[in-house]
Structure 1
Amino acid sequence: MALSLQADAFIDTIKLPDSNHRLVRARGGDIPQSSEVSGIEVRLSQVLIKDNGTETIWPFPGYADVYVLIVVLDNLTKEPQTLTLQGFAGVDDHESLPVDRTAYFWKKETDSSPAPSQIHVLLSVLKSKNKLRNTGKVLAHVKENPEYTSLIAQIGKAVAGPTGVAVDLLLQVGTVVGSILERVEDKPLFTQVISFTDLNGNFDSLGKTTHSQQNNNVETVLTLTIRDRKREAMMAKSVNEVTASA
């Protein structure tokens, strides 16, 4: 059976809570538009291997070699903003991988710079059947693969349409990477696709919001950080006015 990331994948369009600073209003009385944000970061904060899928049979300790694949698309570019593959050797059950890193980053350079309206993140944990490969060479082969280049050519159209189209494209890209990687289990330990969109209000909440997901094998935490200097200044002014009147 060939590797497929579609099987048992968690697919989420994030709905953020009405807490944080979502209800700060502009002078005209409207909630500021998502396009007004000045910075966005999606951070991979944690990958916990709960069960690596390897039995402990004496004298073998039951460790596993795993890969973490991250692919990120947005509506601003016609190629992945992020495409990374990292290997981890000798991973035990209940072990956290050292993965605290930025998966996606955008910063407004000028007042006219458009902000992303869609960000789609694929995260997959794949179990290797053999010794870990050189991931840099694997990704180089991926970028030369005709199926991969065909999928990448569809990014612009995919992110301009319904969220499900971009999600399906991401899963296909991930499957291509896995097929070129070879010597991995047909069923990933864990796969998720998370979509952050302006229509869903994901960029209206300032500060950090964490999103966790898990199955029997893996637990992950992604952290979304939104910055908006104008709204932050409005909040500070509002707090100062309340403090002064108290």
Structure 2
Amino acid sequence: MALDLLSDAVVDTVSLPATNARVLKMRGIGSSSTVTGLEVRLSRVFIKDNRTPKVWPFPGFADVYLLLVVFDNLNPEPQALTLSGFARIDDGEDVPVDKTAYLWKQQDPADPAPSQVHVLLSVLKSKKGLRDTAAILAQARDSDDYRSLVGEVVGAIAGAPARTAEIILRLGAVVGNLLKEVEDKPLFTQVISFTDINGDFDNLGKTPVVKMNNYVQTTLTLVVRDPSREPAA
């Protein structure tokens, strides 16, 4: 069977809590249009249950892949496309990740800030040993399906944002299916959309976004910088 990323995927446009930044906005002080820096960090991937029975003498470890795909509205290509393998992950164990998934810094005052950032993260369980992930990504990038779906994602971001998550999931499945020896059902898949129209970039500083199912818990951290709204030191 083909890898199924769409079923049971967590798809969400983040609703962040009210902060001082939003209070200031209500008083007429600038909002996301004056943002000078954005970062989305992959702060945590915690494996609650790796779906591997512990039957003596087997310890119940699992080899897992993390698939990360990130698009924004400023570029016609993914701003991140990574596939990382991690061996012998146990129940109740953190996958060793804490890295930047997306980063934008304003280089010129006239540069527009992103208005949409879409992040796909999928945790896939391998049925055999880990494969050469660099070769898999190269193979994916060379495929007609990949190129076609990248174009569809870019078109959706520009004209039909509500379809973006579905198409990114299909794009992720193109990469995942090249792994071949993975379980058809991922341990966890999510697409999180950060958008200016939802007010996500109005919140200054760091905002953790935690999502989970029965098997995996993840934390993405949105970091927003805007000197015009930051308190004076």
TM over 0.5: yes
Q: Is the contact between residue 13 and residue 194 of structure 2 (CA under 8 Å) also seen in structure 1?
A: yes
What is the deviation of 1:166? 1.0
What is the deviation of 1:172? 0.6
What is the deviation of 1:236? 2.2
Q: Is the contact between residue 35 and residue 116 of structure 1 (CA under 8 Å) also seen in structure 2?
A: no
Cα 1:25/1:10, change in 2 over 3 Å: closer
Show structure 1 runs of 5+ residues with no match: 238-246
**TM-score, structure 1 normalization:** 0.92
What is the distance in 2 between the residues matched to 1:109 and 1:158?
27
Runs of 4 or more consecutive aligned structure 1 residues displaced over 4 Å after TM superposition: none
What is the distance in 2 between the residues matched to 1:33 and 1:212?
24
Trace 1:20-35 onto structure 2 (pairs within 5 A).
Answer: 20-25=20-25, 29-35=27-33
Q: Is the contact between residue 48 and residue 220 of structure 1 (CA under 8 Å) also seen in structure 2?
A: yes
Aligned counterpart, 1:8: 8
| Cα-Cα RMSD | 1.3
Aligned counterpart, 2:43: 45
Name the aligned partner's letter for residue 127 of structure 2: K
Aligned counterpart, 1:104: 102
Which of these residues, 193, 199, 202, is aligned with residue 201 of structure 1? 199
Q: Is the contact between residue 25 and residue 31 of structure 2 (CA under 8 Å) also seen in structure 1?
A: no
What is the deviation of 1:154? 2.1
Q: Is the contact between residue 163 and residue 195 of structure 1 (CA under 8 Å) also seen in structure 2?
A: no
Which of these residues, 208, 214, 220, is aligned with residue 216 of structure 1? 214
Aligned counterpart, 2:76: 78
What is the deviation of 1:31? 4.2
What is the distance in 1 between the residues matched to 2:154 and 2:3?
26
**TM-score, structure 2 normalization:** 0.97
Trace 1:1-246 onto structure 2 (pairs within 5 A).
Answer: 1-25=1-25, 29-232=27-230, 235-236=231-232
Show structure 2 runs of 5+ residues with no match: none
Q: Is the contact between residue 30 and residue 228 of structure 2 (CA under 8 Å) also seen in structure 1?
A: no
Which of 156-165 and 7-16 deviates more? 156-165
Count of aligned pairs between the two proteins: 233
Q: Is the contact between residue 188 and residue 215 of structure 2 (CA under 8 Å) also seen in structure 1?
A: yes
What is the distance in 2 between the residues matched to 1:6 and 1:196?
19
Cα 1:20/1:53, change in 2 over 3 Å: farther
Identity among equivalent pairs (%): 56
Query: Radius of gyration: which is bigger?
Result: 1
Name the aligned partner's letter for residue 56 of structure 1: K
What is the distance in 2 between the residues matched to 1:132 and 1:42?
27
What is the distance in 1 between the residues matched to 2:147 and 2:180?
19
- Measured against aligned partners, the alpha-carbon deviations of 1:77-98 in whole angstroms (never above 9, x if no partner) come to 0110000000000111000011
What is the distance in 2 between the residues matched to 1:24 and 1:161?
31
